[in-house]
Every structure is written in structure tokens, then in C-alpha cells.
Structure 1
Amino acid sequence: MKSTEKKKLGVLGLSIISINTILGLKNIPFAATVGPSAIVFWIVAAFLFFIPISLIVAELSTTYPEQGGISAWVNRAFGKKASFLTTWFYWVANFTYYPSLLLGITINIAYAINQQQLIHNTWLTTIISLTIFWVFTLLTLRGTQMSEKLAAIGTPLGVIAPVILIFGFGLASILSGHHSATEFTVRTITPNNLSLDTVMFLSTLMFAFAGVEMLGTIAGDVKNPQKTFPKAIWYSSVIIGLVYIIGTIAFQFVINIKPDQTATALYLFADQVTKQFNLPFHLSQILAICFVVSTLGALSFLILNPNVMFYESGKTVLPKVLTKTNKANMPANLILLQAVGISIILLLSGFVPTISKALNMLILMATLAFFIPYIFLICAYIKLRLTDHAAVRPFKIKNNKLAYFVSGIGLLSVIGTIVLTLIPAPDTTISQYAPLVVGPIIFAILGFWFYRIGTKEKRYNAS
């Protein structure tokens, strides 16, 4: 029994995985493009999305701490079909999300080794991405403890180190008397106009907080989940929120970023700091190394999460060959199938002229498919809160009216973001817009079809 207990995740381990999975430092320069008012936008985004989703996940995780997370909760509320479709959207969205993530890693690697010209060779970046992905896929097959170990390495080196560097040099720049690149006053901090662009900007910041729902997929591997989940979510929420807000302030003091510079903004920040302090090293190279370590540290958990959810919801639908587990209790064949599909998409992206165009195409195709599961999640919470009065809720929003208000805010925010995502920008071409709309429609049709075929086959075999 002792050896089993040691393998369980505690508050620290769960917090580390949470921070490394959710926190994205590249969201800081994106926020900085609107100026000091980004501080207010971060706070509003946290209240509209992050806090409601965190409270919902904390309550559901502690009330129903079984393995599967969102798939198990939606199944309790709406049945197997809804659960299957929720995790199906998560699963297929990763077919386009992972390639974009992996191509992003190769860009950071190029800066880390000071060979930026590599990003202009799409086939070389594709090969590097494939190699990285398969190495971490095979490591993921060893179980959740491997994900925790990789995150334990990635968070200190890949998240905490760059946070300290950005904060440290930003504060040093302020204290050393350097002129601020941005004017911080009550007037500039206060948002002065409300337009479609600012609302869409706020929606983007909301999803910079996305990912906390992933923690529910490993509830079965968490020690004393009723106490561990609320603490881990609280600690990680405070840390992530403060990093985003304080990081944006420090960033804006050093450099003024334009909207078309967000891809390399952190490296521009690092180059400016290197000049200001006459550093004997290139800070941009150090940050790039940190980003590589951080993303690689989170990659195993990002691979594991959707496969565990899909496995839990599809056990009675998917073919037996896909629901087999290995010695580490991982759905190995499902993980490998996804890896093959992602590899094919990565290889196809090699035919796209530039890595930037490949990234944009892949991100567009994944966007809406990722947003849809949040609607299922919030609606499942409301349904279970209304109907399952017998459930013991170790952690909960005590006032029912407040619980429905909080979940309603989260639901309206998610639906609003989906609607805004469907509104094309003025300069958007049909080829750019089509994947955004057609992709989720095709995913939905395939999901319904697979569920129908799977359940029909099960009923036939049973008879």
C-alpha cells in the first residue's frame, strides 16, 4: 500500500502540472499590444472565465473524483452520447493543435541555438517536430507519473526561470531610471472604448486561462482529491493570474509592442534588455531555451489528457482494439492512433510554403473544436447541481443562486467567444475562414457517425 500511495499526486505535483499546462508566457506580449489597459482586461478575463471554470472544476472534481474528468461529469449529466461527443471534440481538435504546438517548439529551438534561419525550412522543422512528438508519445505510454516528472522539470526551468527574468529585468529597468516605453496613468490603464476588436481581444485573453478542466482527467491518480484539488486550483490560479498581470506591466515598461510583432515579441523584449544592461549574453537565447523546456515539460500531459478522456467516454463505443490498456493502465492504442494522425497532418503541413502559414492554418482548424466542450462542461455542472441533491460536495459554491450566477457568466462568456470567433476579420480570405467553420462541422458529423456505428455494433454483438 505504501508504494501505491507514493505514486499519488499531491498538492505540489498537481499545482505544477496545472501551472505548466495553463500558463503561456507568450500571452503576455499579446496582451501588451493594447497598452496598459491590458491590466484591466486580464482581471475581467479572469472573472468572466477563469474563476467560474476553476470553481466548477474544483466542485466537480471533489464531488465526482473518478478518472475521466469532463467526460465522466458530462456522462452523469447527459449520458453517453453527450460525453462521447465532448471528448471527441477534444480528441480531434488535438489533431490540428499539436502540430501547431510542435511547430512552435521548433521556432523556439531555432532561437535557442541561435539558428533562426531554420524556421524558413518547413521540411526540416517538420522532421524535428515529428521526432520530438514521437519521443514524448512513447514516454507518455509509461503513465501519469512520467507526465508529473516531465512537468516537474519543465515548470522550474521553463516557467519560473523566464518569469523571474522578465520580472527581474523589468523591475531593474524601472529602479535603474530607464525611461518607460509605455505611459502608465489612470487614463491609459482605463479602457477608453468598447468595440468588436476589444471584445474579441478580451475573448482571446479568456482562453489564455484555459486548461484547468484537464486536471479532472487524472483525479484517480490524485491523493485525497477532495482536499488536494481545491488547494492546487487555488494556488495555481493565484500564481497564473499574478504572472500574467505583473508580467504584462514589466514587459510594457521595457518595450512597446505592435500587433504584428507578437510572434517574436518576447525575443524583442530580451534584445532590448540585453542592450539596456549591456549583458554579456543574449537573453533571447536563454528565454528560448526556457520556452523549449517548458513546452516539452507539458507535452506529455497534453498528449495524455484528451486520450484518457476519450477512452473513458468511448469504452462502450470504440472498437476493443482501441480500448486496450498497457501495464501502466494507459490507452496505448488510442494514443498511438492519434500520434499517427498527427504525424500525417504534420507531414502534409510540410507542403505549406511557410511555417507561419502552416501555423495559422492549423490553429484556425482547431479553434472552435476546443471551445465547444466548455459548453458541455458548464451545462453538466448546472444539471448536476439541480438534480443530484444526494451527492456529497466537499468543496462547493455554498449559495445556489451564486453557483448558477457564476456558471451562467462562464457559459455566456464561452458562447460569446464562439460567436465572435465566427465573425471574420475584414481582411480574411475564404481559404482562411473556411477551415474555421467547416472543420467543426465535419468533426461534429464524424462524431455522430462514429457514435452511431459504435453503439449499433455493440447492440448487434449483445443480441
Structure 2
Amino acid sequence: MTKPEGKKKFRMIDAVLSVICVVFVAEAAAPVAAIGNSQYFWWIFLMIGFLVPYGLIASELGTTYNGEGGLYDWVRKAFGARMGARVSWYYWINFPLWMASLAVIFPEMISLISGWEVSTIVGIIIELIFIWIVTLIAFFPVSDSVWILNSAAVIKVFLALIVGVLGIYGAITHGVANEYTVQSLLPSFDVKSLSFVSVILFNFLGFEVITTMADDMENPKKQIPQAIIIGGLVIAAIYIFSAFGIGVAIPTAEISTSSGLIESLQLLTGNPTGIFISVMTILFLLTLFGNMISWSMGVNSVAAYAADNGDMPSVFKKRRKNGIPFGAPMMNGLVASFVVIIAPFIPNEDLFWSFFALNLVMFLLAYVPVFPAFLKLRKIDPKMERPFKVAGNKVFLRLLAYVPMSLIIIALVFIAVPMDSSSSTLKATLPITIGAVVFILIGELIIKVKRIGYLSIEEEGINYEKIKD
């Protein structure tokens, strides 16, 4: 694919802010706060057990194999086309599901600050507007939207700091909604809390998206590792600070996964409406656009690239004259639109969490083979130049790969598998389980059809050679 000429270049600050914009998602702060005070243990544990090894592995793979395929390329090179196709499907389908989960927040936020009850039809129209604005912006180069990425990153940090600062003020002046004792800070193994721990993993994933922007960078071999390391540390600190503010304001059992951040500001300021809350809500909603725009660029590139290799449906191959994917964004918009239209018929009161959790399942599935791919590529491609290479012996490298992979698998179980047969658990979890199974089967069907087509073409080529002979 020919790259557009005369593009603006990412500076180091752009790269770091892009990592923050991509990886730090403000809407995930509330589900994490719903874990309770034991979230602090899980943050520290997962920073050491997941963020550090994942960051090191992503840095090596991203600077060694820095094509636009990202993790799809890594897995395909290591394990072949079938596994690469699965990764590309899981990685892509999570995006329209995530877009749908963010879309359903908009009507709720409007009702929260205005007191106006948004009807189902009006709510769907608002959701569709959000989806198609994001879809249209995705038709343009990443560097044209760098101001959106940087602005969204700054707004996210600002919101997190506001919540954290108000949390400290509230704790000093009014006390806290949740008691901070040694016992409460220990890890909680409550099933509901453990399902939200997966959101921390989600909050730590996405660094590889920055590798798909390598061609827009001045010095990608240097900027990618630095952006991941600096961005990762900043992101972890921001999350912990904002989660503290939410925990000060709202009892854990009452935290809404969708509107918890804004509700915490309402409680901390003692004002459920007013200019301040309205401005904060608008800024929060703007960050949702930033999330989608930053992720769409990486996801669409991977999907189009996989389609070029015959591992995704042909519609994903379509590009505009400037080389930017057209088919992938259109499919994003169509799938997300379909999901929000059928949403009123889904038997789950927390639609945001239903769609967000389903997005989590598909997203995490895409990362499972990345870690063993790191080890396999070290073995089968030892002569490849590695500008950034993780140091360590074989035992250390295996631990570095298999510990985070195991954590992802455990998280998947707690998100998508009902842990008891109570009606409330089944009502909350079964839609996620069924949705995950359906999308996995669709992916396998696509792989089978594409494989049959590939074998037919290959067979025709062989027959043609025989006729020539």
C-alpha cells in the first residue's frame, strides 16, 4: 500500500499523549472503582505481573516487526494464517462492540445532567450520531486528527485529577464513603469484584496500537519503547488517583459502571447539576470520541492488512484514494449501529456493562496468543534485528510470557462464565457468554470460508500449471 506523502510527523510528546489517549479510558474508572478498596492491591499486583511484562514484550515485537499489522502480524508469523485470522477477527470485532457500549452512555449522561427523560427512539438516534461521527473521522489520516488525540489525552488527565483532588478534599472535610482498613485493602475474591478486575487488564492493553503509527513518527525505534514506558507509568498513577476519588464519594455497592465518574463529581461537589457538572460531563463525553478515534486507526489498519493477506472478508480491503481503510470503518459503523438498535430488546439493565464486557472478552482473546508468539519468534527468527530486545534467560522469558497470558485467561473466565445459577447472575452474565460464543463461531466460519477459497485458488493454479506443461 502506498503511504500518503507529505504527512505531519509525530513528535515524542505526541507519541506519549497518543499512548495515554489510547490506553487510558475514562469510562473504565468506574468499573474498576466498583472492585472496592482491594482495587489498590490489584493495581499493584497487575502492574508488576502484567503491565511490565506486556510493555516489554510489546516494545520488542513492535520495534522488530513494525508493520501496520501489529499483533496480527506477530501471531501470524509465529503460528500461521489460521491463528492470525482469529486474532484479526477478535481484535476487530471488539471495536464496534466497544463503540456501542460508549454510545449507550450518551443518553444516560444527558438525562443525568438535564433531568430530561430520553425516550428509547431519541436515545437510539443520539447513539447513532455518535457512532457515525466516529466512523466518518476514521476515513482520514491519523496525523490529521493528532489534535483530537492530544486534546482527548489532556481532558482525560484533567478529569482524573479533578476527581482525585476533590476526593482528597472530600475525605478531609466530609469523610469517606468506604472505610479504609487493612482488611479492606486486602484482595477480594468476591465473584462480582473479580469480574471487574478484568477491566484493569483492559486498562493496561493497547500499547501495540502505537506501533501501527510508526510511519507517522520521527524515530519510531526510540519513540515506541519510551512512549510505552512513560505512558504506562503515567496511566497507572492516573487510574489509581481517579479511582480513589470515586471510592471516597460512592459506596462500592452503589457505583454505576457507566455514570460512576460523573456521579462521584456530583456527590463530591454537593451539586447534581449546575455549570461545573455540565462542563465535566461534556468533557467526559468528548473523551469517548477520543477513545474511538485513536483506536479506530489501529484496528482498521490491522483489519485491512489482514484482508489483504486473505485472513478477513474482502470488504475490509477497500480503501480510499489516500490509502486509508474504508471498508473496516464502514463495517464498524454498521455493526455498532445494529447492536444499539437491538439493545432495547436485551434483558439486561446495565447495557453499558453488557456491551463493554463482551468487548472485553473478544479483546482479551486477541491477546492470548501474543505472549507465546513472542517466545516462538525468538526461536524461529533469531537473526532478525531487534532494536529493543528484552534481556533474560529462557526461564525468565517464559515467565515473562506465560504469567500475563495466564492472567488474561483467568480474567476471561470471570467475565464470561456464570459462577452460580442464581437468576441475577444468569441474567447479567449469560448475554455475555452467548454473545462471545456467537462471535467466536462467526470468526471460525469466516476462517473456514476464506480457507476453502484459498485452497480453490491454489488448486486452480496447480491445474493451470499442469495444462501449460
TM range (shorter): 0.7 to 0.9
Change (3 A) 1:287 1:57: same
Query: Hey, what does 2:233 align to over in structure 1?
Result: 238
Gaps of 5+ in 2: 462-469
**Structure 1's 279 and 92: CA in aligned 2 closer, same or farther, altered over 3 A?**
closer
Q: Secondary structure at the match of 1:258?
A: helix
Render the CA deviation track for 1:12-60: whole Å, top value 9, x for unaligned.
Answer: 2222222122223344444444543322221112223222222211111
Task: Say if 1:315 and 1:325 are closer, same or farther in 2 by CA, change over 3 A.
Answer: same
Residue in 2 aligned with 1:298? Answer: 291
Aligned to 2:244: 249
**Structure 1 partner of 2:218:** 223
Task: Give the aligned residue type for 2:185.
Answer: I
**Structure 1 residues not aligned, in runs of 5+:** none
For 2:125, the equivalent position in structure 1 comes to: 127
Q: How does 1:121-270 map to 2 (within 5 A)?
A: 121-156=119-154, 158-173=155-170, 177-191=173-187, 194=189, 196-197=191-192, 199-259=194-254, 261-270=256-265
Tell me the secondary structure at the aligned position of residue 303 of structure 2.
Answer: helix
Number of the residue aligned with 1:307: 300
Q: Which residue pairs with 1:23 in the alignment? A: 24
SS in 1 for 2:59: helix
> Is the contact made by 1:108 and 1:291 (CA closer than 8 Å) also made in structure 2?
no
Counterparts of 1:48 and 1:77 in 2: how far apart (Å)?
Answer: 24
Cα drift, residue 367 of structure 1:
3.7
1:288 offset after TM fit, Å? 1.0
Give runs of aligned pairs for residues 47-446 of structure 1, distance below 5 A.
47-111=48-112, 114-119=113-118, 121-156=119-154, 158-173=155-170, 177-191=173-187, 194=189, 196-197=191-192, 199-259=194-254, 261-275=256-270, 281-317=274-310, 318=312, 322-351=316-345, 356-400=349-393, 401-426=395-420, 427=422, 428=424, 432-446=428-442
AA at the equivalent of 1:71: Y
Q: Structure 1 pair 414/429, CA: closer, same or farther in 2 (3 Å)?
A: closer
Once residues 263 and 138 of structure 1 are traced to their aligned partners in structure 2, the CA distance between those partners, rounded to angstroms, is 25
Contact 1:316/1:455 (<8 A) preserved: no
Q: 2 CA distance for matches of 1:429 and 1:257?
A: 18
Deviation at 1:194, TM superposition (A): 4.5
User: d(CA) in 2 for partners of 1:414 and 1:187?
Assistant: 26
Mark the CA change 1:168 to 1:330 in structure 2 (over 3 Å): closer, same or farther. Answer: same
**Cα distance change on mapping 1:390 and 1:306 into 2, 3 Å:** same
* Aligned equivalents of 2:18, 2:39: Cα separation in 1: 26
- Which secondary structure does the structure 2 equivalent of 1:327 belong to? coil
Q: Partners of 2:447 and 2:273 in 1: how far apart?
A: 59
Using the alignment, how far apart are the partners of 1:225 and 1:154 within structure 2? 22
Structure-2 separation of matches of 1:321 and 1:188? 51
Counterparts in 2 of 1:99 and 1:321: CA distance versus 1, 3 Å: closer
Q: How big is each residue's C-alpha offset from its partner over 1:341-363, in whole Å with a ceiling of 9 and x where there is no partner? A: 32222222255588x45435434
Q: What percent of counterpart residues are identical?
A: 22
In the aligned structure 2, how far is the partner of 1:143 from the partner of 1:134? 17
Stretch deviating more after TM superposition (328-337 or 196-205): 196-205
**Greater Cα offset, 394-403 or 372-381:** 394-403
* Aligned residue number for residue 9 of structure 2: 8
**Offset at 1:146?**
3.4
Which AA in structure 1 matches 2:446?
Answer: F
C-alpha distance in structure 1 between counterparts of 2:416 and 2:61, whole Å = 30
When structure 1 is superposed on structure 2, of 255-264 and 227-236 the one drifting more is 255-264
Q: For the Cα contact (< 8 Å) 1:171–1:250, is it kept in 2?
A: yes
TM value normalised by structure 1? 0.87
Moved more, 259-268 or 407-416: 259-268
Q: TM-score with structure 2 length normalisation?
A: 0.86
The 1:425–1:116 alpha-carbon spacing in structure 2 relative to 1, beyond 3 Å, is: farther
1:309-351 per-residue CA deviation (whole Å, 9 max, x = no partner) reads: 1221221325655413213311212321332232222222255
Conserved in 2, the CA contact under 8 Å of 1:134 and 1:339? yes
One-letter code aligned to 2:326: A
Cα deviations by residue, 1:193-252 (Å, 9 ceiling, x for unpaired): 645555444334333323223323333333321101111111111111111222233443
Q: CA deviation at 1:445?
A: 3.1
